[in-house]
Chain A
Amino acid sequence: MAQRRAPLEYNRTWQMRLWLFGVFFFLYAPLVALIAFSFNDSKRNIVWRGFTLEYYRKLFNDQVLMVAFANSLTIAFLATIISLAIGALAAILLWRYRFVGKTAVEGAFTLPLVVPEICMGVSMLLFFTRVIPWPNNIMWPFSLGSIVIAHVSFCFPFVALVVGARLASFNKEQEEAARDLGANDWQAFRDVLLPHIRPALIAGGLLAFTLSLDDFVITFFTSGPDTITFPVKVYSMLRFSVNPEVNAASTMLILLTVLLMVVMMVTQSRAQKK
């Protein structure tokens, strides 16, 4: 007699196991291959020829790539900080106040989430060349300004969304209690509301950072001729040849994002334990 399966024990049937294997295979096999071949001692990247760190050495000696990497990190950092401020304030505004046209404002905030990236990219390109031409020859990091602004425009709605969801679970009596106990508006915000939305700020910030770090389309359109970011550089490398240097660069990017995730999870779980 067949053993009865509990409702959620999907992995007991071979069909389900096959399905799971398929999902994980197509999700992770490309990544594993990419990382593995970054250590391959071959220019062509097809057959395994032996282990080498040559391409990583090349990578770190590649001035252009390093500049692109620094640009990407700077842009992501600035875009994250600005998105956090704007996104959190937008979420609090929509949560706290009732005003005419609130639904319209809410819709406008989420618009960048649904507008196709290519449209955003083209409109940004036109905006920064025709409407407000962004100077390219100014001092770094101000030369990155147009890209940062473009990134903020599609990052902050994510922050607002995450913070807004968190705010929905806030007990307003807590803020009133703080006021009642002698706190002014700012102290009540700092001591009660801010600790409540802190996890959302961390999650939203990380989301914004990774979104900005690996954005290609919008950056491609908004970056001036002299500014290059990491994803744009990787793309241009691919156009010449798929060599292990691209693999190595991508591996570094994966490592960085995974590291960030780990840092976030550790800080989150520590905060919860406390």
Chain B
Amino acid sequence: MDQALASGIKAAATEASAKPIISFRNISKRWGTTVGVDNVSLDILPGEFFALLGPSGCGKTTLLRMLAGLEVPTEGHIMIDGQDMAEIPPNRRAVNMVFQSYAVFPHMSVADNVAYGLKVDGVPQIDRDRRVQEALDLVQLGHLAKRMPDQLSGGQRQRVALARALVKKPKVLLLDEPLSALDAKLREAMRFELSQLQQKVGITFIMVTHDQTEALAIACRVAVMNKGSIAQLGTPSDLYEFPASRFVADFIGSVNMFEGKLIDDKPDEAIVACPELDPYPVQVPHGVPGKEDSSVWVAIRPEKMNLHKDADAPPALPECAAAHNVAKGEIKDISYLGDISIYHVLLANGRLIRISRPNRSRFDQDNFSAGEKVWVSWGGSSPVVLQS
């Protein structure tokens, strides 16, 4: 039965062509002198699972609430399916929201909660009952229709909120921190379920989250926000492998960041000297934007660094010039996490870095031990050179 609703929503969604379903045009939101959102322009395509990611106070929730009509932008325009939303109140917008607290009505049964949106729209009883049942089946709550919200678990309440929003067949479903109130195991299961649900109903989902693993795991595209603006917009792998700024590199995943000076920039090679990696320079096999002698940052992910047993000479790397992309240090601490181990290595000039290694074999965990002197190396393609 859930198939019926799913295909119904899907049909409505595919009618719209590839033009953006949501457009933010120079949106700003200010309260007095406080800037919540600062001149954001953003297009979201039909059928996308889009995530707004950022630390708390970055404006992501405000952006979502403006889309739902619960906040009014100070400047700019919001278009939903080509229609300007300036004068449209929240109850007449073709978007529905799953709130962070779920906001399930405590005095109504599960079925009444889901039926509420149809009731205020004046959908006749017979239609209503059928659609409510479909929506509940879609989120696998069909058997709990008569329950009251206080008899449900947190995860079930969230499904009620989902069904309540989806039953209205919105063009876009908004999710405000949908998984933050669930425990770790359930969160992981729900992540998968959300993306399954999104594929089933085929409409655009926009999720707000501060949890980068969540955004990377579910979303097709992610906008990383910082201080009211979009710091970077891209696919999860874009953001992780090609961060545009120190903020993005640092916010998504973990990273070892070294400040340095661009001493040589050729089209096919760039050399950066970092005081913390002295005396060995960093070499990348491509040119980087930025002037010679300017300050840059080198960001290297922990899993893209290697550990070598101590030797007199630095290890030779096949694709790098000798005595480049290496550093000498001492293992201070090892965190064994099961699938991987994280090595905290203190470099010769006092900088502590993180290196992660997968535990591929059941027997090689003892290869390195705390207190051991090691060499650290990385391939030329591993570092990202950042201007800001």
Contact = CB atoms under 8 A, between A and B. Distances in A.
A177 B120 contact: no
Interface in A164-193: 171, 173-174, 176-184, 187, 191-192
Interface string A27-54: 0000000000000000000000000000
A173 B89 contact: no
Interface in B137-170: 161, 164-165, 168
A184 B90 CA distance: 9
Contacts of B111: none
Nearest to A195: B107
A179 B89 contact: yes
Contact of B121 (A180, A182, A195): A182
B116 A180 contact: no
Contacts of B90: 176, 179-180
B103 A174 contact: yes
Contact of A173 (B95, B100, B116): B100
A252 B105 CA distance: 42
B120 A180 contact: no
Contact of A184 (B91, B100, B103, B164): B91
A182 B70 contact: no
Most interface-central of A171, A180, A183, A196 (chain B CB within 10 A): A180
Contacts of B106: 196
A180 B96 contact: yes
Interface in B87-109: 89-92, 95-97, 99-101, 103, 105-107
A177 B91 contact: no
A173 B107 contact: no
B255 to A, nearest CB: 35
Contacts of B121: 182
B374 interface: no
B20 interface: no
Given A176-B90, A191-B116, A195-B107, A181 B168 contact: yes
Contacts of B92: 182
Contacts of A182: 91-92, 117, 120-121, 168
A183 B120 contact: yes
Contacts of B91: 179-184
A174 B105 contact: yes
| Central interface residue in B69, B89, B120, B121, by most chain A CB within 10 Å | B120
B70 A171 contact: no
A174 B89 CA distance: 17
Given A171-B103, A183-B120, A191-B116, A177 B97 contact: yes
B68 interface: yes
A179 B99 CA distance: 12
Interface string B106-144: 110000000011001100000000000000000000000
A176 B99 contact: yes
A83 B120 CA distance: 30
A105 B117 CA distance: 37
B117 A173 contact: no
A123 B26 CA distance: 60
B73 to A, nearest CB: 17
Nearest to B97: A180
A264 B129 CA distance: 34
A196 B99 CA distance: 18
B99 A181 contact: no
Interface string A226-270: 000000000000000000000000000000000000000000000
Given A184-B91, A195-B107, A178 B101 contact: no
Contacts of B99: 173, 176-177
B70 A179 contact: yes
A180 B70 CA distance: 8
A173 B120 contact: no
A32 B69 CA distance: 62
A202 to B, nearest CB: 14
A273 to B, nearest CB: 10
Candidate in B90, B97, B100 with the most chain A CB atoms within 10 angstroms: B90
Interface in B39-94: 68-70, 89-92
Contact of B116 (A171, A176, A181, A184): A181
10 cross-chain pairs, A with B, having the tightest CB-CB distances, nearest first: A181-B117, A177-B103, A173-B103, A173-B99, A195-B107, A179-B90, A182-B120, A174-B103, A183-B120, A182-B91
6 contacts: A173-B99, A177-B161, A177-B164, A180-B68, A180-B69, A181-B165
Given A182-B121, A183-B116, 4 more contacts: A174-B103, A176-B103, A178-B105, A179-B69
